[in-house]
Structure 1
Amino acid sequence: MKKLILVSIGLLFFNYGFSQTLSNNFELDENQNILWRTINNTELDFNNLVEAIETSGYYEKINIGDDYVNCEFKPYQLDFAKYGHKYMTTPFYISRNLVSANIKFEFKEARYRVTIRNILFTQNADDALSQQGEQHSFEWWVLNKKGKIKKNFFEPGSDIMNKDFQIKTSFTTKKVDDNW
């Protein structure tokens, strides 16, 4: 019985040491960095996936490996209204900032994993609280000084970003040539 308890406690600490699942496909890694991760099934082969990424218009600094693509989001404004949120109830790090991030697409047997890291918010206009061009990480906005999630800041923003990231990273089927 003691061995079972010790193994259970060891597994708990082992799992906690790597990452902590938050919500909306977000995780908190061992270094207190927030990342977003999902796995998508696809009918595309690797070359078609690369082409879809390159032609989507969402990415820049695209680096292609044998079975992966590293790139960055071009800075853009998250469309919170598109996902049913109102300006007054949307966290201001979403409503008043451009978002950018590092993305890795890893391809494996008719599916690919997407990992988004280093999510950065850049102030897109001067206001009383900040200056245009000021930058802060997602962690700066949603983690307290002890590294714990501030749910009132994290939850609404993570919902918007999850929906947006799902759309921008979903490449599942080949485009049909509709040229008769």
Structure 2
Amino acid sequence: MIIFVKTITMKHFIIFLLLLPCLYLAQKENFTSVNRQIQWQKVYETSFSQNEILSIIKNSGKFTNIFTDNDSLTGSFSDLMADYKGAGSTTMGTTIYVQNSSINANFKIDFKEGKYRVTITNILLNELMDLGLGISNTKSPIENYTLKNGKDEFRKTFEQRDARIYNYTFTNFFDFSKYRKSEDNW
């Protein structure tokens, strides 16, 4: 009987060890870093055409510098606040730079039949801090807060908390099914 219990425990331990690398990669969400440049990328399923998404983007008022190509469009956005509460975090459990910074970035959307891929690059954090005598407004690359010095490795606080918050924010921001006009014909 004791041998049977040890076998099950060892089996679970081996499965855990095999899944550990997958758990580590999942913590970074949709972020990658190459040559100390962070980008976020996600693929969405959609029933919208490229022209419908372009119309949504232009009419939303949230995007600027929009250019279209055959199978893609590019642009930028600014003053997006990270939705840490929507991501399930609290004020005390969220780093200061996430709470007090708006996000400015460039994006590219590539289209294929029934889906689109969003890539966000050149992410700048616009830190807004009230210093008592006035508001400080400083723009810094996200890499200053998220990468270890001189390396393409993410800091643990980013992997464990901040990546989840930014992933939630970007995922919702580029989910164009939420921008659909209501069909209220009465």
Residues 96 and 71 (structure 1), Cα distance of their counterparts in 2 relative to 1, 3 Å cut: same
Secondary structure of 1:49's match? helix
Root-mean-square deviation (Å): 2.2
| Identity across the alignment (%) | 28
Task: Tell me, yes or no, if the aligned pair for 2:31 and 2:38 is still in contact at 8 Å.
Answer: yes
Structure number with greater Rg is 2
- Do the aligned partners of residues 153 and 113 (structure 1) sit closer, same or farther apart at CA in structure 2, a change above 3 Å counting? closer
Question: Cα gap change, 1:22/1:159 in structure 2, threshold over 3 Å: closer, same or farther?
Answer: closer
Q: Distance in 1 between matches of 2:43 and 2:64?
A: 21
Classify the secondary structure of the residue corresponding to 2:170: helix
TM-score, normalised to structure 1, is: 0.78
- Say yes or no: does 1:178 pair with 2:184: yes
Equivalent in 14, 17, 38 of residue 34 of structure 1: 38
Give 2:68's aligned amino acid: I
* Counterpart position of 2:13: none
Question: Structure 1 residues 86 and 176 mapped into 2: Cα distance closer, same or farther (>3 Å)?
Answer: closer
Query: What is the one-letter code of the residue matched to 2:160?
Result: E
Answer yes or no: is the 8 Å Cα contact 1:21–1:27 preserved in 2: no
Task: State the Cα distance separating 1:57 from its structure 2 match.
Answer: 3.0
Q: How many angstroms does 1:22 deviate by?
A: 6.6
CA contact (8 A) 1:21 1:28 kept: no
- In the TM superposition, residue 172 of structure 1 has moved relative to its aligned partner by 4.0
Structure 1 residues 138 and 67, CA, compared in 2 at 3 Å: closer, same or farther? same
Q: Does residue 149 in structure 1 map to residue 154 in structure 2? A: yes
Q: Distance in 1 between matches of 2:26 and 2:68?
A: 28
Residue 159 of structure 1 aligns to a residue in which SS?
Answer: helix
Q: Is the 8 A contact 2:124 2:142 kept in 1?
A: yes
Give the structure 1 partner of residue 50 of structure 2.
46
Please give the residue correspondences for 1:108-127 in structure 2 after superposition, counting only pairs within 5 Å.
108-127=112-131
Q: Deviations over 1:134-158 (max 9, x none)?
A: 1111111111223122112343111
> For structure 2, which runs of at least 5 residues remain unmatched after alignment?
1-24
Cα distance in 2 between the residues matched to 1:153 and 1:107: 30
1:99-135: per-residue Cα shift (whole Å, max 9, x none)? 111111111112111000111101112349xx62211
Count of paired positions: 158
Q: Structure 1 residue runs of 4+, over 3 Å off?
A: 172-176
Partners of 1:93 and 1:154 lie apart in 2 by 15
Query: Residue 176 and residue 123 in structure 1: after superposition, are their counterparts in 2 closer, same or farther (change >3 A)?
Result: closer
Contact 2:30 2:41 in 1 (8 A): yes
Instruction: Please report how far the alpha carbon of residue 74 of structure 1 lies from its aligned counterpart in structure 2 after TM superposition.
Output: 2.2
The answer on whether the counterparts of 1:122 and 1:135 sit within 8 Å (CA) in structure 2 is yes
Q: How far apart are residue 88 of structure 1 and its match?
A: 1.7
2:169 paired residue number: 164
CA shift, 1:41, in A, is 1.2
- Provide the rounded CA distance (Å) in 2 between the counterparts of 1:74 and 1:38: 19
